[in-house]
Amino acid sequence: MQHSEPQPYPLLRAYVLMFFLSLIWGTSFILIKKGLVSFQPVQVACLRMSFSALAFLPYLLIKRKVFVWSRLPLLTLIGIMSSAFPAILFATAQTKISSATAGVMNSLTPLFTLVIAVFLFKNKVRSVQVMGILLGLVGAATLVWSSRNPGASGTTQAVYALLLVISSICYATGNNIIASRLRDVPSIMISAGSFGVVGIPMVLYLFFGTDFFQRVASHPQAWNSLGAILILSWMGTVLATILYFHLIQKTSAVFGATVAYLMPIVAMGWGVLDGETIGVWHFLGMGLILGGVYLSRGRKE
């Protein structure tokens, strides 16, 4: 029998999974932007959660007899902190902040994950990981500075940027709960349960509390926006969440959160395709972020 301590996860596999997740999630900010063309922020969030819950419905029906019902309170908390709240906050923020900047701000997640892991969950973090987190944070700050929009109100950007900070704290809390309390639960079950509990009330609110059907019927870009949100949900939420929870379980909350350091690079890439200018400071920030990812992995004792 294997001892209770988690077995070392293959380093190459962990990095491949991290890069794959960064590609998916780095694209999600553009898809949110497309969804906001036709729908309000809360509608984009509700659609995202509803499509995700629908994708997990067959699994929940098949596994209903062996589902970890005793963990439902924790799964509900995960659904709220790692899915529902961030979906609403990001969609709201992107009404005033560019998708590239939103991707950059999301790189604050590893810092908050580390802080919460140490102070609330009493986890031990190696000094090299602290250095990696701080180095990545400097890189993220560099990208924020180089991506600023001179034409926008500084106060407005600050207020909406605060929503992204809160969202990062939500993600960080969910990361630590999974790493410390749900390591023994299959990642797909965590995803299915967490999206199931938040998806039901959000789809009800979407249908009966908003003008969703009116927008679908009248907005000329409604179906394009729905298509973007569907891709966002099934790729950027369903598939990516399963893989992400698996990565956290097999490595650590801090390492899993460093996926957020690579997202800005992908987000900036979409900016290039959209005609945005990328300069020396962008590349410097990306280099610091990559260095932070490497150091944040740490070493096993």
> Which of 9-18, 104-113, 206-215 holds the top average pLDDT?
206-215
Q: What is the pLDDT of residue 259?
A: 78
Q: Which range among 35-39, 89-93, 187-191 shows the weakest confidence by mean pLDDT?
A: 187-191
Of residues 292, 290, 285, 291, the one with CA closest to residue 148: 285
* pTM across the whole model: 0.80
Residue 8 three-state SS = coil
Q: Give the Cα separation of 48 and 237 in Å (integer).
A: 8
Q: Which range among 125-134, 155-164, 219-228 shows the weakest confidence by mean pLDDT?
A: 155-164
C-alpha Rg value of the chain to the nearest Å? 19
Segment 148-188, tens digit of pLDDT: 555 555 556 667 878 888 998 999 899 888 888 888 888 88
In this predicted structure, the answer to whether residue 301 has a pLDDT above a threshold of 50 is no
Asked whether 78 and 174 are in contact (CB, 8 A), the reply is yes
Q: Which range among 35-39, 107-111, 145-149 shows the weakest confidence by mean pLDDT?
A: 145-149
Share above pLDDT 70 across residues of the chain, in percent, rounded to a whole number: 86
Q: Give the Cα separation of 90 and 86 in Å (integer).
A: 6
Summarize the confidence of residues 180-209 as an average pLDDT.
91
* Residue-by-residue DSSP string for 159-200: HHHHHHHHHHHHHHHHHHHHHHH-TTS-HHHHHHHHHHHHHH
Q: Give the Cα separation of 31 and 29 in Å (integer).
A: 5
Asked whether 149 and 157 are in contact (CB, 8 A), the reply is yes
Asked whether 198 and 84 are in contact (CB, 8 A), the reply is yes
Summarize the confidence of residues 207-225 as an average pLDDT.
95
Burial of 14 (0-12, 13-18, 19+ CB in 10 A): middle
In this predicted structure, the answer to whether residue 34 has a pLDDT above a threshold of 60 is yes
Reported as a pLDDT band with limits 50, 70 and 90, residue 201 is very high
* CA-based torsion, 252, 78, 56, 217: positive or negative: negative
Q: Which range among 62-76, 99-113, 139-153 shows the weakest confidence by mean pLDDT?
A: 139-153
Summarize the confidence of residues 31-58 as an average pLDDT.
93
Segment 281-295, tens digit of pLDDT: 767 877 887 787 677
Domain regions of the chain by residue span = 17-296
Segment 255-270, tens digit of pLDDT: 777 777 778 778 778 7
Per-chain mean pLDDT for the chain: 82
Segment 80-98, tens digit of pLDDT: 999 999 999 999 988 887 7
In this predicted structure, the answer to whether residue 28 has a pLDDT above a threshold of 60 is yes
Reported as a pLDDT band with limits 50, 70 and 90, residue 146 is low
Burial string for 283-297 (b: 16+ CB within 10 Å, else e) reads eebbebbbbbbebbb
Q: What is the pLDDT of residue 295?
A: 78
* Residue-by-residue DSSP string for 49-117: HHHHHHHHHHHHHHTTTTS-GGGHHHHHHHHIIIIIHHHHHHHHHTTTS-HHHHHHHGGGHHHHHHHHH
Q: Which two tokens stand for residue 3?
A: 């001892």
Q: What is the pLDDT of residue 78?
A: 93
* Residue-by-residue DSSP string for 106-159: GGGHHHHHHHHHHHTS-----HHHHHHHHHHHHHHHHHHHHT--TTS-HHHHHH
